[in-house]
Amino acid sequence: MQLPRLTRYLPILDWARSYDRDTATSDLVAAVIVTIMLIPQSLAYALLAGLPAEMGLYASILPLVAYAIFGTSRALAVGPVAVVSLMTAAAIGQLGLSDPAQIALAAITLAFISGVFLVAIGVLRLGFLANFLSHPVIAGFITASGVLIAASQLKHIFGISAEGHTLLDLVGSLIAHLPETNFITLAIGLAATAFLFWVRKGLKPLLRKMGLGPRMADILAKAGPVAAVAVTTLLTWGLGLNQMGVKVVGEVPMGLPPLSAPSFDLTMWKTLLMPAILISIIGFVESVSVAQTLAAKRRQRIDPDQELIGLGASNIGSALSGGFPVTGGFSRSVVNFDAGAETPAAGAYTAVGIGLATLVLTPLLFFLPKATLAATIIVAVLSLVDFSILKKTWTYSKVDFTAVSATIVLTLLVGVEVGVSAGVLLSILLHLYKTSKPHVAEVGLVPGTHHFRNVLRHDVETLPGVLTLRVDESLYFVNARFLEEYVLTRVAQCQNLRHVVLMFPAVNEVDMSALETLEEINRRLSEQGITLHLTEVKGPVMDRLKRSHFLHELSGQVFLSQYEAWCALKPDASHGTEQESLAAQ
């Protein structure tokens, strides 16, 4: 295999050639900051997924190394994220398992299926499939998921039991168990939440006022969750709060991730296949949007299809090391970028840092209150909640508003998989409905110019006996019949009509159904003594029309521009042509 082809599948061969000491220093500094941020996040997201805390750490080691080898983004930080963790919990919940070992095996299997799917569509260069998830649907889904995630963590803040995968179930369960509130746990949870909210905006300016440099102030501000973890863990240990009903993480196995393998039980695979596909697509869309944004700031580029392979390899790595599904995280990627990460090696260094944490720090996590981890999750996900998308889409596009609102409502009331699936399906159906009735405008010449505009919007000139219709949509099986009916209806409304001109400046595609429709329009008009012309047909469309009999049977001409057609079809022009013809005879 040639080197360029190897570089396409192994981007590490590209950036590693110019790797030097300065780059390594930048990557190491970024890795230290991200490691500090990732340790509490990893533990928290494992809790959110309903898994043992150590699985969050395991999912933050080998996946980062895999992405460093196969990924193309220089700043993307891979690991557990809130939305994917919630979807993981929902997917495993469908299996109805109660054995912790079986639940962990299901999470490993889910990561493996997701990884295989991502690698497969990456190798086949099918990254465009993610385009079926429109941005408004993604925004609505993430907003609803953020609300669900925050609601699901309230049980840890109050120190009570609560179950449910929908907002109504969660709220009902929380209210039912509210009398069981452990007030010490509540105090820890509220204090940690308030502190973390303050840290996000208030700590860095305070440190700057105290004379610290911007880099050190930023590092200490990012270490806010670690401070919350350390302080609440020490308080719980020192005061014996775990004996007063405060739920703690408990024993976390010390050591590097064990080698693991997914289950190949067909029943489990059938249940997890669709959730794995949804997790893969949601994770890829979230990840690639972050990667593209950060790459653009440094005038770099990423390869979306190779990103699929990189994320797929990361998930397979997670499955082989006792983890669960991962993707590129928004907040930690931005931190990685701002901290100066130059190459994906920063992720590999972060993996080393997390690995050291599993060797050294895990015994210290025994007394870590679950309320602190819940506070970490709540503060992180509430920044994702953005109901302004409803106002924006209502103002701009009622179609998008319908898709967004349906996604939010169904995600909250039915569940994450139904919500995102319905959003995708509704977006496609609404798009088909919208394009089934393309905008068709009668146009005329703007006086003194060569431009043609809608007769209903502008003061334009029209030619007697000539009807010019501009088609503002590609023509395919969904809207072909509409165009035929529209043209014939307008023809029936016109008196003394001699020519119909179809303007195609916005037509990028004419499929077989639409071609048959054009042939039928041509035939019907010819029977009425009306000539059909086309103008401004794009090259690729013309190439396909030339492969059919349509152009040979067309009663009129294909003009390069609408103005050319205007000049040719003017009554005085046709009169002049007739005189020239008589003179020639």
pLDDT higher at 575 or 398: 398
Residue 527 identity: E
Q: Does some domain include residue 162? A: yes
Q: Answer with the one of 344, 359, 386 that is the final residue of a domain.
A: 386
Identify the band that residue 573 occupies on the pLDDT scale cut at 50, 70 and 90: low
Instruction: Compute CA 82 distance to the chain's CA centroid, rounded to the nearest angstrom.
Output: 14
Q: Say if residue 297 is in the same domain as residue 444.
A: no
Q: Which two tokens stand for residue 149?
A: 């995630």
Residue 380 and residue 447 in one domain: no
pLDDT at 381: 86
Residues 445 and 335 in one domain: no
Check whether 39 has a pLDDT greater than 90.
Answer: no
Coil/strand/helix, residue 253 = coil
Q: Is 470 within 8 Å of 503 (Cβ atoms)?
A: yes
Q: Quote the strand ranges of 125-205, DSSP E.
A: none
SS3 461: strand
Q: What range does the domain containing 251 cover?
A: 20-166+179-386
Length of the chain: 585
Among 386, 406, 427, give the residue marking a domain's end: 386
Q: Residue 389 corresponds to which amino acid?
A: I
CA-only gyration radius of the chain, Å: 31
Q: Are residues 352 and 487 in the same domain?
A: no
- Is 532 within a domain? yes
Q: What is the DSSP letter of 327?
A: E
What is the SS3 assignment for 454?
A: strand
Q: Are 185 and 159 in contact (CB under 8 A)?
A: yes
Q: 262-311, pLDDT tens digit by residue?
A: 999 999 999 999 999 999 998 998 888 888 888 888 877 888 889 999 99
Q: CA angle 527-528-534, nearest 5°?
A: 85
Min mean pLDDT across 35-49, 210-224, 258-272, 499-513 is at 210-224
- Residue 159: how many CB atoms within 10 A of its CB? 24
Helix (H) or strand (E) holding 78: strand 78-79
Rounded mean pLDDT of 555-562? Answer: 95
Same domain, 193 and 104: yes
pLDDT for 583 beyond 60: no
Average pLDDT, the chain: 89
Q: Provide the H-helix boundaries in 437-570.
A: 480-493, 512-527, 539-546, 550-553, 562-569
The helix/strand/coil state of 452 is strand
**Cα–Cα distance measured from residue 71 to residue 312, given in angstroms and rounded to the nearest whole number:** 10
Three-state SS for 559? strand
Q: Is residue 85 part of a domain?
A: yes
Listed residue (407, 336, 377, 452) closest to 34, CA to CA: 336
CA distance 198 to 209: 16
Higher-pLDDT residue of 102, 131: 102
Whether 526 and 494 have beta carbons less than 8 Å apart is answered as no
Assigned domain for 428 exists: no
Could you report the per-residue pLDDT of 193-237, keeping only the tens digit for each? 999 989 878 888 888 888 887 767 776 777 778 889 899 999 999
113 in the same domain as 255 = yes
If you average pLDDT over residues 548-572, what whole number do you get? 92
pLDDT band of 341, cuts 50, 70, 90: confident
In the predicted model, is pLDDT for residue 581 greater than 60? no
DSSP 8-state assignment for residue 397: -
Q: Are residues 476 and 382 in the same domain?
A: no
pLDDT, residue 556, reads 94
Is there a single domain that holds both residue 450 and residue 550? yes
- The answer to whether residues 309 and 444 belong to one domain is no
Same structural domain, 344 and 493: no
- The rounded distance, in Å, linking the Cα atoms of 519 and 500 is 14
> What whole-number distance in Å separates Cα of residue 37 and Cα of residue 330?
13
For 42, the token pair is 């990893």
Would 306 be classed as within a structural domain? yes
Residue 578 placed within a domain: no
Q: Domain for residue 430, yes or no?
A: no
Closest listed residue to residue 24, CA positions, set 352, 357, 349 = 349
Q: Is residue 584 in some structural domain? A: no
Computed from CA positions of residues 249, 42, 256, 327, in that sequence, does the dihedral angle turn out positive or negative? positive
Please name which of 224, 227, 225, 204 lies closest in space to residue 214, comparing C-alpha atoms: 204
The string of pLDDT tens digits covering residues 1-36 is: 455 566 667 888 878 888 888 889 888 988 888 888
Query: What's the domain count of the chain?
Result: 2
Cα separation, 143 vs 91, whole angstroms: 19
This prediction's pTM: 0.81
Cα–Cα distance measured from residue 350 to residue 541, given in angstroms and rounded to the nearest whole number: 51
**What beta strand segments (E) does 389-537 contain?**
440-445, 452-454, 466-471, 499-503, 531-535
CA atoms within 13 A on the CB side of 110: 33
- Is the predicted pLDDT of residue 584 greater than 60, yes or no? no
pLDDT of residue 427: 80
Is residue 376 domain-shared with residue 445, that is, in the same domain? no
CA quadruple 83, 89, 95, 98: dihedral, nearest 10: 170
Pairing verdict, β 499-503 and 531-535: parallel
Residues 381 and 453 in one domain: no
Quote the pLDDT of residue 1.
Answer: 46
User: Which residue do the tokens 């405060």 mark?
Assistant: 246
Residue where a domain stops, chosen among 359, 386, 413: 386
| Of 193, 206, 136, 86, residue with least CA distance to 387 | 136
The Cα–Cα gap between 513 and 480 comes to: 7
CA distance 231 to 372: 10
Instruction: Output the pLDDT for position 180.
Output: 92
- Write the CATH number for 462: 3.30.750.24
